[in-house]
Structure formats: structure tokens, C-alpha cells
Chains A and B, each alone.
Chain A
Amino acid sequence: MSNHLPAGAGSGGGGGRAGDSGLRYPSNGKTIYHRPLNRTKTAELSKAAFAYLFAEMVSYAQRRVTGIQELEKRLNLQGHPIGLKLLDLLLFREPPRTQLRPLNIIALLHFIKINVWTHLFGRQADRLEKSSNPDTPDEFMIIDNEPLVNAYISVPKEMSQLNCAAFAAGIIEGVCDGAGFPARVTAHTVGDTGEGGEMWPGRTVFLVKFQPEVLEREALIGAKS
């Protein structure tokens, strides 16, 4: 707490320094602070507009990358801040009764599967799974049969490892990190294997791997309550 700025301290009652801060306001004088946060809840966006924007984001991320992993990393980074912000926005929009911070992994994953997915893609994620491998109790899977971000994307054969839903994985990672459950989230295509693979060639698994301290805390809280 040592780096307080003098401008912040002791300016009791002194708001409205807008005039001399050099900030520029929209011509109608309305900043985001003048608009309600709730109104656009049911509004929809053009899928085509998103598709073109996302295509450009992928092309942008692709510039001067050395490999597929780096490209996925960059897409992930583009999504991360969105997740951080969505977490606060979506919880703010919850009705006061259910306005609870997710305290355990299951609550968090449900929040992602239902609230985040519905907000972003207009429907819930298709499935939630826990890793069946006893060696990796820290791994959880969110499954989407046809991710909206990949709706128009055909990945060339030489890049078959790539899944552009790494962007959505970044959003999930942002939500997890923000809620205090640091994790690594990666997107994997599993369309060609498993049951129903014929029907959903673009099926994507978002693998959520939590940091060890998250499970440690989970065990502690579980023991306490």
C-alpha cells in the first residue's frame, strides 16, 4: 500500500476532474458509465460479422508464428482478457439471490457451461466431464459438439493439430483465473473418434487443467465443511 498517488489521496469530495484530465468524451457526452449494463441481455449479434472478425483475428495471430502451438497460444491470449471481464459482467447480471461467487470447481464449471456459454454462443455447452484417469484428478473437460467460433473454418491438412477454438479456451482460462482457480485450458478436436464422431466432425473438447493449489484448497474446504 505504499504506492499511493498523491492525486488519489485526500481529494475528499473532489470528483469531476474530467475537464482538465485531457480525456475526450463522445460528442453526445455519454460514456459507458451513462449506459445500463443490463439492457443488451437478449440482443443478438450478426454471426457473419463475428465470422469475418474472427477470421481476421486468426490471420493476425498467424503472422510470424513459428508453429501451431504458438498460434494456439496467441489465440488463447486474445481470449483471456475477455474471460476475465465476462466473469464480473455475468455475475453482475445474475439476480441478487443467486449472485454467488463460485467457490468450488463444480460450481465454476457449471457457471462456464451455462452462463458463459449461453452469453457467448446462445446455448449451453454440450457436456461436462471429469477425467476418468486417476493420475489426473486435476483435469476436467467441457465438450462442445460444434463450436461457434469454428463454424466456417476449415483447417488445412498441414495444420491438422490446430483448433481455432483455442480462442474460446482462452476465454475459459480467463474466467477460471479470474475466479481464483488458475488453470491451463486447451482445445482439442475429437470429431473423428468416439461415438457420434460422424455426426459432429467438429466436436471439440476443452481440457481444463487446474493448478495443484486449486485442488489442495478444494480438499481443505471440503474437509472443513
Chain B
Amino acid sequence: MSYYFAIIGTQDNPLFEYEFGTSKQGGDGMARFTEQARQLNQFIIHSSLDIVEEVQWTNGQMYLKLVDRFFTSYISCFLTASNIKFLLLHQPPSSSTLTGGTSRTSTSIAANPTSPQTEEAIRNFFAEVYENYVKAIMSPFYRTNMEIRSPVFRARVAAAGRKYL
């Protein structure tokens, strides 16, 4: 399973992005996107913003769960109080490397993007990133919609990814 995580500001501008792979079940934590997919991921995330905006004013929850799907890419969303969007694109291993049957029946987070376990794991991931995001914006030098450059923040996001996904 490969993940692409992005924080999108209020002007639909990217504030932070990070690619990683699963660390569960012996995963090495490396993303397995092809060069082409990496370009595509940004477009997929961007296009799902429209769907996020549709639910933004009808659902007061912060965690909006799965919001969009593009072929094998699933997009989960978390909205902060100040309407900053956390978007996580997750892509199960492509069926060409695995036999189709096993990837559907497996209960692991990696193989099953729509299961409740996956939903909960992503919720925990977002919650931890949110905590660190709040800490990041507490900096007196940080203004809304500025890129988050803190290396500590990046390390924390990576740790949350390893921990839950």
C-alpha cells in the first residue's frame, strides 16, 4: 500500500505533502508509486477538493472519511476548524502483483481500503497529524496558507504514518 498525504490551504493551495508506504506486515514504509502515478496523484487530490467542498457545510465532523475514489486510488479527508484540508490518497497494491482474490478477502489495512479498520486507522493518523498541525500553526511566524516547512513536523507525520498505516 502506498500513501500520498497532502495538506491543502483555504485557497486550494498545497501547504505540505508527503509520500510514504505502509509499515505494517513487513512493509518498508516506501511509497510504490510509478513516476506517472506521482504526477497523477496531485491531480486526483485536487479534483477531490470539489467533493470535499460539497460536504463541508453539511457535515460538522472533522473526519469526513472516504470522500472520493479514482480507479484504485481512495481519498480520505479531514477538515480542520479553519477549513484546512488534510487529504490522504491510499492505493492498495495493484492487482497485477497480487492475485485478485486475496486482496479482496484480506483484512489488513493495506489491502482493504474501505474496511472499518482502515477507516479507524486513518482517523488515528489524521488525529495525530492534526495535533502536530495545531502545534505548527502556533508558531508566531506562521500565517495562514503558508507552506509548512518544519522538519520536525515532517518527522512527526512520518512517525504517525508508521504508527497507524
Residues of A whose CB lies within 8 Å of any CB of B are 1, 3-5, 8-18, 21, 23, 31-33, 35, 37, 81, 84-85, 87-92, 99-103, 107, 178-180, 217, 221, 224-225
Contacts and interface: CB of A to CB of B under 8 A. Distances in A.
A107 B57 CA distance: 13
B119 interface: no
Nearest to B161: A13
A203 to B, nearest CB: 30
The 5 closest A-B CB pairs, nearest first, are A15-B155, A178-B82, A15-B158, A100-B60, A91-B81
29 contacts: A1-B43, A3-B14, A4-B42, A8-B17, A10-B31, A10-B38, A15-B155, A15-B156, A15-B158, A23-B151, A33-B135, A33-B136, A33-B150, A35-B135, A37-B131, A85-B137, A88-B137, A91-B62, A91-B81, A92-B81, A92-B131, A101-B61, A101-B81, A178-B81, A179-B81, A179-B82, A180-B10, A180-B83, A221-B58
Interface in B126-165: 130-139, 143-144, 147, 150-159
A40 to B, nearest CB: 12
Contacts of A100: 60-62
Nearest to B28: A13
B82 A12 contact: no
A213 B116 CA distance: 37
B45 interface: yes
If over half of A's interface residues share one DSSP class (helix, strand or loop), that class is named, otherwise mixed; here it is loop
A152 B20 CA distance: 54
A224 B154 CA distance: 40
A103 B133 CA distance: 22
B30 A89 contact: no
B93 interface: no
A84 B144 contact: yes
Contacts of B134: 37, 88-89, 92
B77 interface: no
Given A15-B159, A221-B58, A31 B14 contact: no
Contact of A103 (B13, B46, B60): B60
A61 to B, nearest CB: 17
B57 A217 contact: yes
Nearest to A93: B134
Nearest to B29: A13
Nearest to A7: B149
A28 to B, nearest CB: 14
B79 interface: yes
Contact of A33 (B30, B31, B81, B152): B152
A217 B157 CA distance: 34
A13 B21 contact: yes
Interface string B4-38: 00000010011011111100000011110000001
Nearest to A8: B17
Residue with the highest number of chain B CB atoms closer than 10 Å, among A85, A89, A179: A85
A33 B14 contact: no
